[in-house]
Amino acid sequence: MIITTERLTLRPAEPKDIDGFVRHLNDWEVQQWLTQPPFPYGHKDGEAFLAIVGANHATSYPTIFVIADQTTDAALGVASVVIDQDGTGVLGYWLGRDH
């Protein structure tokens, strides 16, 4: 599933995104607020994340999206929605500091 807006695209992760993930997630000002990604974040971590997002997008209702620039398609961050068993939704996201 791909969602487009005037400025952004929400899409599945792609191998070309890994370098951006590594750069952004090795910035402690971004990483310190996150509970899931390892620090430091390496290329292998990005590959593992691609597998997670790929499996997520193979479902009927994907919930993890790369936030990409509409013009350049560069990965700016990630957004996800987690639905708890009681039906409560939690929105999580991170953006590179320069975005």
Tell me the pTM.
Answer: 0.90
- Domains by residue range for the chain, with CATH: 3-95 (3.40.630.30)
* 3-state secondary structure at position 75: strand
- Report the b/e string of 67-95 with b at 16+ CB within 10 A: bbeeeeeebbbbbbeeeeeeeeeeeeebe
- Per the omega criterion (within 30 degrees of 0), is the bond before 38 cis? no
pLDDT tens string 80-97: 998 888 989 889 999 999
pLDDT tens string 2-57: 999 999 999 999 999 999 999 999 999 999 999 889 999 999 999 999 999 999 99
